[in-house]
Structure 1
Amino acid sequence: MLRIAREFFELPEEERLKLYSDNLAKIIRLSTSFNLRNEKIASWRDFLGLPCYPLEDYIHEWPNTPASFRDIAGEYCKSARGLALELIEAISESLGLDKGYITSQLGKQGQHMAMSYYPSCPEPDLTYGLPPHTDHYAITVLLNDEVPGLQVFKDGQWVEVRPIPNTFIINIGDQIQVMSNGKYKSGTHRVVVNCDKDRISIPTFYSPSPDAVIGPAPQLITDDEPAVYRQYTWAEYDEKVWGNGLEKCLDMFLVENKSNHVDV
């Protein structure tokens, strides 16, 4: 998967630009920042956004160059989805819920992949590959090459996540934080670039379906631990995120009673 991603970004520019768009409504597109229309600073990257589930609904619209792109990326998406489902079931059980609880709350579910290319940068201190953010989906399965760049915010400082060959990095997303009533945290992270090497990173995002109703699991709400978040649909949350760039949107869905607030 890493090889075919690099081959795609090594295609002639005129070939890649056939897929370029800053239209957020276009679900298969090549772009740079999350939302070029409202961001003050563009990210130092290119990415190809691909919807992945149901795969048969989208794969015929994916790029067909390099020649094996659809076969390799399609097989990878199916495997990544299987891993995400297993992890979500384990998270559900760890909260004392039925293993299928979170999966059922996600509705028909969705999956999206962003093949990201971070070129070497002559002045890396002046930009980000991606600015600080949390993933607004349920869970992210992240595949990296051997070049570092990902950092997480922990104990008041940024910590480098060193790449380990043949492993995935798993990010808990905003929706798991909400459904767990704050017991799981959606980790803040960013991507930095360097002046020597380019980098390939492939996150696969697993999300609810648009009509899915998300909120804290009733079993996790008690007198001592009241609901931190109100219920909302995924379509409502997704709209807020796209309208605010990568800024964290969880605070918009806190229960109004301030005595219920937790450090999120």
Structure 2
Amino acid sequence: MAELLSESLGLPSDYLSNIECMKSEALACLYYPKCPEPAKTLGTPKHSDTTFLTLLMQDSTGGLQVLHDDHWIDVPPVHGALIANIGDLMQIISNDKFISVEHRVVAQPVGPRISVACFFSPSVRAAAKPFAPIKELLSDENPAIYREFMFREYYEHYKTKGDHVGSALLRFKIR
């Protein structure tokens, strides 16, 4: 995936691998039981992923929705398919060439719903370096949209907000 994303940015195929932005992985196995009154609850509230990339495998139950033009759109499950979600960090370093997606999971009257997510984050070494839009993507016509920051500052933003944090993108935009 790092090679494909690098190439789609017009960079050498090993660019993202070399900066180790997706070197660390975390796996989450998610279980949502059948909900007798789905209109009264939500499986997972609206959020965008804090990582560079998330790969998701969902079962046939469904429930994943993405926000598009202020409307929630169902993401129908496709047997054997993986869903690739761009995270906020990828949006920042790509200077908005890639856009992270706000999504949620709605409770279902059938189930259980099971999904597996793999979150790709920077390596420890990469996390110790500043993050900013990739210089090769910037020009006079395409100036930096985001400021430089340390991963610790980014992480602390989420850690202090708990489960009620929105995207950090605005916090790191150049004003």
Question: One fold, TM greater than 0.5?
Answer: yes
2:53 maps to 1:139: yes
Kept in 1: contact 2:34–2:108 (CA 8 A): yes
Distance 1:227 1:254 in 2: 9
Q: Is the radius of gyration larger for structure 1 or structure 2?
A: 1
Higher relative contact order (CA closer than 8 Å, sequence separation 6+): 2
Distance 1:239 1:125 in 2: 33
Match of residue 225 from structure 1: 142
Alignment of 1:1-264 (within 5 A): 87-106=1-20, 109-209=23-123, 210-244=127-161, 245=163, 246-256=165-175
Instruction: Summarize deviations over 1:208-236 as a string: whole Å, max 9, x none.
Output: 13314321011111112110001122222
Distance 1:165 1:212 in 2: 39
Instruction: Sort the Cα spacing of 1:213 and 1:99 in 2 relative to 1 into closer, same or farther, 3 A.
Output: farther
Specify every segment of 5 or more residues in structure 1 that has no aligned partner in the other structure, as ranges: 1-86, 257-264
Distance 1:110 1:237 in 2: 16
Distance 1:100 1:237 in 2: 25
SS in structure 2 opposite 1:252?
Answer: helix
Displacement after TM superposition at 1:102 (Å):
1.9
Displacement after TM superposition at 1:122 (Å):
2.3
SS in structure 2 opposite 1:114?
Answer: strand
More helix by share: 1
Displacement after TM superposition at 1:107 (Å):
5.6
Kept in 2: contact 1:147–1:199 (CA 8 A): yes
Q: Report how many residues are paired.
A: 170
Moved more, 230-239 or 124-133: 230-239
TM-score by length of 2: 0.90
Instruction: Sort the Cα spacing of 1:217 and 1:140 in 2 relative to 1 into closer, same or farther, 3 A.
Output: same
Distance 1:89 1:242 in 2: 30
Distance 1:110 1:104 in 2: 13
Displacement after TM superposition at 1:131 (Å):
0.6
Match of residue 42 from structure 1: none
Distance 2:110 2:95 in 1: 42
Distance 1:95 1:250 in 2: 20
SS in structure 2 opposite 1:203?
Answer: strand
Distance 1:243 1:234 in 2: 14
Instruction: Summarize deviations over 1:137-187 as a string: whole Å, max 9, x none.
Output: 010110111111100111221110010111111111111111110011001
TM-score by length of 1: 0.61
Structure 2 residue identity aligned to 1:207: S
More strand by share: 2
Distance 1:195 1:107 in 2: 38
Taking only aligned residues, the RMSD between alpha carbons, in angstroms, comes to 1.5
Distance 1:147 1:192 in 2: 11
Specify every segment of 5 or more residues in structure 2 that has no aligned partner in the other structure, as ranges: none
Identity %: 38
